[in-house]
Each structure stands twice: as C-alpha cells, then as structure tokens.
Amino acid sequence: MSSFIFRNARVIDPVRKIDSKGDVGVIDGRIAEASEVRGGEVIDLGGKVLSPGFIDLHVHLRQPGNNMAETIASGTAAAAAGGFTSVVAMPNTNPPADTAGAIEFLRQTAAKKAVVRVLPCGCMTKGYAGEEMAGIGSLKAAGVVALSDDGRCIQDHALMRHVVEYAKSFNLPILDHCEDKCLAAGGVMHEGKWSVLLGMNGISGASEELMIARNIILARQIGWKIHMQHVSVKESVELLRNARAKGIPVTGEATPHHLTLTDECIKKYDTNYKMNPPLRSEEDRLALIAGVADGTITAIATDHAPHTMTAKMVEFDYAPFGIIGLETALPVSYGELVAKGVISLPRLVELFTAGPADILGFVDYSLAPGNPADLTVFDPEAKYTVDKEQFKSNSRNTPFDGWEVQCKTMLTMVGGKIVYNEL
C-alpha cells in the first residue's frame, strides 16, 4: 500500500484532546508518525483540518430492494464526498436484514462495491415487524455492529425488554426509532400551529417522548445501551439529559435537518421537507441545539434516506418520508453550530467521530499511530453553493439545494486509500 505524509494540518483528534498544527503519516494503511514515513507521497494541507474519519450511525443504502434510489456503490460514494469513512447500514431493506444470509449479502456486496466501511446493522425483530425477536446470536456471528428496527418501533414493551436483554448478552447496542404508532397514526408533519394552519394531520411530539421514556426505563432496569435515533422534541432532550445525569446508559443523536429546519418550512408543500420524525417547532429546534451544546446529544447522524424523484413528486400526504444528508451534513452542521458560536470546531468533530464510535463500542477511535488510516480532511473556510445535481448519491431529495454554505470536505481516506479528493 502507499505511504503518505500530510503536512501543515490542523490536527483535531477529540479522543486524544489534540487541536494543533502538525503532520500525520500513513504507512501500509495505518497511521504513523510522519518522521517514520520514507518516500511517501507528501500532501501539504495548508492549515486545513485533518481528523479521524467521520462515522454516520444512520444510513439507508436501499440495497437490496430499491436500487433506483440508492445502491451500496452510490451511497458510499456520497458518504466519502461528505467525509464519512464508515456508515451504519440500516436493516429495513427488502428483504430486511434479519438473517445471517442477509448480512452476508451486504458484506459481500460492500466488499466489491463500497468505497467506505459499511457496518451492518441487524433487525431486532423478524421482518422488522415488531412481533417476534430475530435471531440475534446468528446476526452477531454474521458481523452486525448493532440492532435496530429503524423506521419502526417495537410497540410491545415485553418484547422490547427481551430484545434489550439479548442484545446485552451479545454486546450489541440498540439503535431505536422512538415512535408510538397510535399517537403518530396518519400524521404527515409535526402536530402544532402549522399543521392546523395547513390542514394536515399531525404527528404528536408525545409519540417520541413516550417511547424514549420507555427505553430509559428498560436501559436502567437491564443496564444496557439504548441509543435514541433522530431525537426531535424538547421533552425528549429533557428526558435524556436527566437520565444521563443519573448514569443510565442511554444516548441520542440529532440530524442536521432537525437542527436547522422547522415545521414552518412545510408551508412550501415541498415533499423534500417531509421526514419522520417530522420537522418540529422552533422551540424544539432550539432545545436540540442546547442538547448538543451541553453534551446531552452525543452524535450527529444524517438519517440519509434516498427516494427517487418520481416517489417524491406526489401530493404531500402521499410522498414517502425521508431526505438525503450524507453530502450536506458537515456544512449544514457547521453553519448552525460552529459559525453561530454554539460549539467549537473540535466539539463538532467529536460529534462526527468519537461520539458515534463510543455508541458503537469502538475503543480508541483516534489518530494514534497504529490505528487504521481512516481520515477526513476539510476546509472550514471554504464557501460554496449546494448543488444537488453534483451529488454522488442516486437521489436528489434534499431541502438544502441552493443553500450558501461553509466548510467543505476536501479528502477522505479509508484504510490508507484515498477515496475522495478535491485538494
């Protein structure tokens, strides 16, 4: 494999609490001291940031089942363009990833087509139908890193308890889409002022709050990790804050779109603003930002959910939930959190690296010599206009097209191989 020396970098490594100018070496796919590299390619970064590779906990690659919207090849190319070196592939494919065979298909396809690391996530229940527990032991043996019925939430509390108990015995974190079906039934947007004004069926914030409270109780009782996906309402943040203060093993993620957009955007009737959980109120958005600032929220994840243009070009009520986010996550998050002085740049890097790694149980996810050379280089000063037609993803369902943004991915390296380069 090739060797590299990255010179004149602003090295940000949250695990080792480093934020300083320096050089980083790569030898045979692993990080090394720059002084140890002999004859490698020298890349002068001119002060750009070099950090551990970003990890996205929440990505829909759509393969198998909907290759028109996304494939493992196109989805991982989009991930590389966004600075992500690892993505957790959600299991709600067709067929679902609820067996060892389905996980093996994902792993084999990723080995041939993926340009970043694809981390398999297995279903909690068979067919992710919420009725019968999946074969968690066989899923673990097949190589899953976590369990989720993403897109759905187990409504049977006793079943959820058994799933968490088995997950603990196999050392697999739970990633849960928290939603009470009864309270959310028929809703297409947040239940509030704007759903009333627009005459649309609302999704109550209580539908999320209720299941987060359930999960906190189970995490406390069983003593195992439950991670709350795409937290969206103020009350959920408060529940997580209080639970974490008591040492209960729960975590939460926020998406860039929930940090920046609100339900008022729906007045455009643009289906690229339709997602689940829906865009919430300004009060909820500000509570999420506060949760990021005080450490209640420990990761940013995209919930990258590709859909074809045809699928989204229907009446709002009938359009599928979801937007893409891999290629806009960094600049959108930077603009809302760092540019506005809410958090520091090292803290933002932590939300994309050490935070997700800790949720997955990865040890020492850092730039320490000997670790795999999964690196992200980005320029916080670079300004540009988001152009969805330039995306690597197969899909274009984004609300951020045309946005003037700052902070651009310049290079992504996975295992010592450059998979994206705009230097």
Active site residues: 303
Strand partners, 252: 228
Query: What is the C-alpha to C-alpha distance for residues 98 and 116, in angstroms, rounded to an integer?
Result: 23
Q: Which residues contact 151 (CB under 8 A, 6 or more apart)?
A: 90, 92, 128, 177, 276
Burial of 310 per CB tally in 10 Å (0-12, 13-18, 19+): exposed
Using alpha carbons, list the distances in angstroms from residue 376 to 78, 113, 142: 14, 20, 29
The answer to whether the CB of 21 falls within 8 A of the CB of 47 is yes
The answer to whether the CB of 378 falls within 8 A of the CB of 335 is no
- Packing angle between helix 234-245 and helix 282-293, nearest 10 degrees? 20
Using alpha carbons, list the distances in angstroms from residue 128 to 149, 157, 258, 351: 5, 15, 25, 28
Please provide the DSSP assignment of 223-291 as one string.
T--EEE-S--SHHHHHHHHHHHHTT--EEEEE-HHHHH--GGGGGG--GGG--SSPP--HHHHHHHHHH
Query: What is the C-alpha to C-alpha distance for residues 103 and 389, in angstroms, rounded to an integer?
Result: 32
The answer to whether the CB of 149 falls within 8 A of the CB of 92 is yes
Structure tokens, 223: 């003593």
